Amino acid sequence: MYNSNPTLESVGKKVDESKQGEVFFQEDTDDGRKKFYIESYGCQMNFSDSEIVASILGEAGFSPTRNMEASDLILINTCSIREKAEQTVRKRLRIFDKVKKQRPGTLVGVLGCMAERLKKKFLEEEKLVDIVVGPDAYRDLPGLVAGAEEGHKGVNVFLSREETYADISPMRLDSNGVSAFISIMRGCDNMCSFCVVPYTRGRERSRNAFTIVAEATNLAERGYKEVTLLGQNVDSFKWENPETGKVVNFAELLIMVAEVSPDMRVRFSTSHPKDITDDVLYAIRDHENICNYIHLPVQSGNSRILKLMNRTYDRPWYEAKVKRIYEIIPDCAISSDIITGFCTETEEEHQDTLSVIKFARYSMSYMFFYSERPGTLAARKYEDDIPLEVKKSRLTEIIYLQNDISRALNAADVGKTFKVLIEGDSKKSDKEFKGRNSQNKMIIFPKKGDLKTGDYVHVKVHTSNSATLKGDIV
Ligand code: SAH
Ligand code: SF4
Ligand code: F3S
């Protein structure tokens, strides 16, 4: 998760727990196998990767456990996106140290983006870490664990141009049996100047489209009702069939996955404003089960800042994209990521970010203040010159504005009826269900009859606030 407690540094970007995993997580069966415990931080890609890691370890004779104290191997899948994300990981390592002292022989492994960023420096900085594995080296994990058991600390942070783990069937961790992630590509070739991802995840590569469809088909056969196609920039998905030479683009892939089952919803994240095409919008419009929801991060509403950020679009281009989306899919919800206080941002330029939020009418946004990341273009070229208090006060302003807009948009949903996929009991009561509509809005409603998680129902909304809708089954 990005942050379990919304703070001024970041709000939202919390991976919904209900979206993780699948049925065959065997809860602590005493099967005599060695146990691994895994914690994930960061974006959905990381949560998806943890399921690949779990599958690789499963093949190597390990079983997953939710009990850290009873595990032989503690893994943490890390995020480097902002300084705070890395601090969270360091704090967790202190806790793991304690477990390790109580249970000598327990191994600690650091996976993911922070492992990639720090490489073997991790072993120098954190003495109790035994293994450091980057996002493209998970197949090597069993070997590295075997080495560590013999007392040899191991590092593999090799970044690959080919690895997509296409053949690995993820072990779904903590599943509600309804929603699953499917990773469709890895890495990122966009050099947004603030962003560490191209350095931690390497070059962009797309996964074999047939293995994506096969994974979706398998999920549908097991009763899943929703898949989310994941990539840092899904719109640049491009896979060439080596046999026919035919290239599959993202719009075509979306349709292939949508056609797996009309009963299974398809979502995707993240779209880049420069790459999303009309064909993607038509695919959404023409397929009821492709959800009317697009995460289209703007980052800033000011063209000069966007240029410094190397986003490769400007304000008018972004506005035209938003207009086009609402034109083709009038009831589409759009959400965003926004950064305040990027290098040299003036008060006036910050006002442009406020106005783009109003223009785009985001259903919600993930909002952050700028955090300089070592090695990025921005860190090398620009001074991080906006004082922290200013970054934070600008962030507060955009949070308030976004909340007002979310509240108004949700109020406009009162009286409407939506098709909702039941995800489980609401947080507050086992007499209520929670679920989402196509626009990705959470709706809470009283249970009725023998409806269950994974069923679709029609719910008429009667109440709203800035985060949720409430209604009744009709
Ligand atoms: N690939 C996605 C986003 C990946 S990172 C995209 O292009 O939109 C998720 C979000 O974290 C980004 O959209 C950005 O808003 C935020 N982010 C990335 N680097 C950051 C930094 N250095 N400081 C603050 N926020 C950052
Ligand atoms: Fe980072 Fe930009 Fe790539 Fe997104 S598109 S992961 S923000 S470099
Ligand atoms: Fe974080 Fe890496 Fe994702 S830096 S946001 S876990 S790609």
Q: Which residues, in sequence order, are CB contacts of 260 under 8 Å at separation 6+?
A: 213, 216, 217, 220
Tens digits of per-residue pLDDT, 151-200?
A: 999 999 999 999 999 999 999 987 889 999 999 999 999 999 999 999 99
pLDDT of residue 417: 98
Give me the CATH topology for the region 179-407.
pyruvate-formate lyase- activating enzyme (3.80.30)
Domain 417-473 CATH class label: mainly beta
What secondary structure does DSSP assign to 115-138, as a single string?
HHHHTTHHHHH-TT--EEE-TT-G
The answer, yes or no, to whether residue 12 has pLDDT greater than 60, is no
| 192 Cα–ligand 2 center, Å | 6
- How much helix, strand and coil, in percent to the nearest 5, is found in the chain? 35, 25, 40
What percent of the chain lies above the pLDDT cut of 90? 91
Strand partners, 456: 421
Average pLDDT for residues 96-121, to the nearest whole number? 94
Nearest atom (ligand 3) to Cα of 46 = 6
d(CA 366, CA 363): 11
Ligand 3 atom at minimal distance to the Cα of residue 44: 3
- Judged by DSSP in three states, 305 sits in helix
Considering every ligand atom shown, identify the ligand nearest to the alpha carbon of residue 45 and give its number.
3
Q: Which residues' Cβ are closer than 6 Å to ligand 2? A: 188, 190, 192, 195, 197-198, 232-233, 272
Confidence of residue 20 (pLDDT cuts 50, 70, 90): very low
The alpha carbon torsion through 213, 276, 188, 7 (nearest 10 deg) reads -100
CATH 3.80.30.20 occupies which residues in the chain? 179-407
The residues that bridge with 38 in the sheet, in sequence order, are 75
464: DSSP letter: E
43 pLDDT above the threshold of 60: yes
pLDDT tens per residue across span 217-244: 999 999 999 999 999 999 999 999 999 9
Atom of ligand 3 nearest to the CA of 81: 4
pLDDT averaged over the chain?
93
Instruction: Report how far residue 358's alpha carbon sits from residue 158's, in angstroms, rounded to the nearest whole number.
Output: 43
Ligand with smallest separation from the Cα of 204: 2
Question: 102: burial class by Cβ within 10 Å (0-12, 13-18, 19+)?
Answer: exposed
Residue 175: what pLDDT? 82
The Cα 454–Cα 435 span in angstroms is 9
Model confidence pLDDT, tens digit, residues 361-408: 999 999 999 999 999 999 999 999 999 999 999 999 999 999 999 999
Q: How far is the CA of 457 from the centre of ligand 2 (A)?
A: 36
Those residues whose C-beta lies under 8 Å from the C-beta of residue 22, and which sit 6 or more positions away, are 51, 170, 171, 172, 173, 175, 177, 180, 222
CATH 2.40.50.140 positions along the chain are 417-473
Closest atom of ligand 3 relative to the 85 alpha carbon: 1
Instruction: Establish whether residue 270 lines the binding site of ligand 1, counting it when its CB lies within 6 angstroms of any ligand atom.
Output: yes
Encoded amino acid at 460, one letter: K
Query: Which of 203, 233, 271 has the most ligand 2 atoms within 8 A of CB, as the residue to mutate?
Result: 233
The tokens for 51 are: 């399921």
Domain with CATH 3.40.50.12160 in the chain: 26-156
Q: What homologous superfamily is domain 26-156 in, according to CATH?
A: Methylthiotransferase, N-terminal domain (3.40.50.12160)
- Closest ligand 2 atom to residue 188 Cα is 3
- Which pLDDT band holds residue 8 (cuts at 50, 70, 90)? very low
Q: Is 425 close to ligand 1, i.e. is its CB under 6 Å away?
A: no
- DSSP for 358-425, please give it: HHHT-SEEEEEE----TTSHHHHHS---S-HHHHHHHHHHHHHHHHHHHHHHHHTTTT-EEEEEEEEE
Ligand 1 centroid from CA 232, angstroms: 10
**Residue 95 CB contacts under 8 Å (≥ 6 apart), including other chains:** none
CA of residue 206 to ligand 1 center, whole Å: 21
Rounded CA separation 468/474 (Å): 18
Nearest ligand to residue 340 Cα: 1
Helix/strand/coil for 353: helix
Query: Is pLDDT above 50 for 308?
Result: yes
Q: Go through 298-334 and write b for each residue having 16 or more CB atoms within 10 A of its CB, e for each that does not.
A: bbbbbbebbebbebebebeebbebbeebeeebeebbb
C-beta of 206 in contact with ligand 1 (< 6 A): no
Task: Please check the confidence at residue 15 and state whether its pLDDT lies above 60.
Answer: no
Distances (CA, A) of 114 to 145, 280, 380: 19, 33, 19
- Is residue 358 within 8 A of residue 405, CB to CB? The reply is yes
User: What integer pLDDT is reported at residue 29 of this predicted model?
Assistant: 63
Q: From ligand 1's centre to the CA of 313, what distance in Å? A: 16
CA of 49 to the centre of ligand 3 (A): 11
Q: Any residues with Cβ below 6 Å from ligand 3, and which?
A: 42-43, 45-46, 79-81, 112-113, 196-197, 200-201
253 CA → ligand 2 middle, Å: 21
Ligand 2 closest atom vs CA 337: 7
Percent of the chain whose pLDDT exceeds 70: 94
Tallying the residues shown for the chain, one arrives at: 474
Q: What's the whole-number mean pLDDT along residues 414-418?
A: 98
Rg of the chain in Å (alpha carbons): 22
Q: How confident is the model at residue 299 (pLDDT cuts 50, 70, 90)?
A: very high
Angle formed at CA 44 by CA 359 and CA 172, multiple of 5 degrees: 140
Whether the CB of 275 sits within 6 Å of ligand 1: no
- For 111, 234, 268, 275, the CA distances from 271, given in Å and listed in that order, are 25, 6, 8, 7
What residue's CA is closest to ligand 2, atom 1?
Answer: 195
Give 306 or 16, the one with higher predicted confidence.
306
Could you tell me the pLDDT band of residue 352, with boundaries at 50, 70 and 90?
very high
Give the pLDDT band of residue 27 (cuts 50, 70, 90).
low
- 23: confidence class by pLDDT, cuts 50, 70, 90: very low
Question: pLDDT class for 203, splitting at 50, 70, 90?
Answer: very high
What is the pLDDT, as a whole number, of residue 32?
84
CA of 80 to the centre of ligand 3 (A): 6
Task: Report the residue among 2, 13, 195 best suited for mutation to probe ligand 1: largest number of ligand atoms under 8 A from its CB.
Answer: 195
